[in-house]
Amino acid sequence: MQVSNIHIYPIKSLGVIDLKKAFVAEGGLQNDRRFMIVDNNGDFLTQRELSVMATLAVKPVEEGFEVGIDGKESIYLVSEFSEAGKTTVTVWNSRCEALVGSEEVNAWFSDVLGKDCRVVQMPTESRRPINPLFNLNDDIVSFADGYPMLLANMDSLNNLNSKLQSPISMSRFRPNIVVSGFDPFAEDKWMRIRIGKTIFRVTKPCARCVITTIDQNTGRVTGKEPLRTLSTFRKAKQVYPDKFSTLGLGENDVLFGQNLVAENFGETIEIGGLVEIIE
């Protein structure tokens, strides 16, 4: 019953960085989804529209992040964009202010993705709130879809893979924290957990989308799995028949993983850390 993997995605929908330990900040794990790619209207872009985004590798460097793709010279994102360029961006139903990357950075991404776009960064002072239905303590989030962190259970993936003709990796679900040593889908019943010195509220289940059908190594859509198989036993009306609507879910939403909100900040979590179920 421990943490087996920790991941961050500094640029929304781009490559993963694997960590041995991570600092728990107010809006999520440090450096997770602090950058995002938007179109000319300020609307966020993800693998849903551009699956090639999965193939852009991100790695930390001294002053920020290096982004690369085969066949093209890498580009660098500094830790802090200039305050000179600001714009308003949209992530689903929320709008917030963001800092805009340089012309060089924006041109690089536009060329790689084959679409006019800009790279934006969330200012350190930004306070983008989570869904008001689940916002208990002025909870905030980065550019993640809706909640600060996503937890997934390796034993749940093993159970799913036992039903698939071709097993998949956990990367399809893009979690921040992967735990192991539990029964499959035990996380459905968790309300609060402790990892190290940090207590997390298990806010709501995660409804999955077509990104799970994209191979994160190749950027190719591989078919209808795992959504097709998950839909046979993980629809919201099957998992939470009496309360799916109170969890902000549609009856046919397909579930895998749990969204987390930290109740205290400033500590670190690490691989091998004990996961304690509080309630």
Which residues, other chains included, contact 184 with Cβ-Cβ below 8 Å and sequence gap of 6+?
A: 153, 155, 156, 158, 159
| CA dist., res. 75 & res. 119, Å (int) | 12
Model confidence over 268-279: pLDDT tens digits?
A: 999 999 999 998
| CA dist., res. 44 & res. 90, Å (int) | 6
For the chain, give the number of residues. Answer: 279
H or E element at residue 230: helix 227-230
Query: What does the block give as tokens for 223?
Result: 């078919």
User: Helices (H), strands (E): how many in the chain?
Assistant: 4, 20
Spacing of C-alpha 128 from chain mean position = 15
Which residues, other chains included, contact 24 with Cβ-Cβ below 8 Å and sequence gap of 6+?
A: 30, 198, 262, 265, 266, 267, 268, 269
Model confidence over 46-76: pLDDT tens digits?
A: 999 999 999 999 999 988 999 999 889 999 9
Pairing of strands 86-91, 64-69: unpaired
The residue with greater pLDDT, 20 or 1, is: 20
66 phi-psi bin (left φ>0, alpha ψ -120 to 50, beta other) = beta
Classified as helix, coil or strand, 269 is strand
Query: What does the block give as tokens for 189?
Result: 């019943």
Mean pLDDT of 158-166: 97
Which CB contacts under 8 angstroms, 24+ apart, belong to 233-236?
236/205, 236/207
| Residue 241: pLDDT over 90 | yes
| Residue 127: pLDDT over 90 | yes
**Would you say the C-alpha torsion 48, 51, 53, 57 has a positive or negative sign?**
positive
Beta-bridge partners for 202? 260
pTM over 0.85: yes
Model confidence over 3-46: pLDDT tens digits?
A: 999 999 999 999 999 999 999 999 999 999 999 999 999 999 99
The residue with greater pLDDT, 85 or 145, is: 145
User: Taking Cα atoms as reference points, which of 168, 157, 150 lies closest to residue 205?
Assistant: 150
| Residue 224: pLDDT over 70 | yes
- What pLDDT is stored for residue 1 in this prediction? 85
Mean pLDDT of 230-235: 98
- What pLDDT is stored for residue 84 in this prediction? 66
- What pLDDT is stored for residue 80 in this prediction? 76
Q: pLDDT band at residue 78, thresholds of 50, 70 and 90?
A: confident
**How many Cβ atoms are within 10 Å of 84's Cβ, its own excluded?**
8
% of the chain at pLDDT higher than 90: 92
Asked whether the beta carbons of 236 and 250 are under 8 A apart, the reply is yes
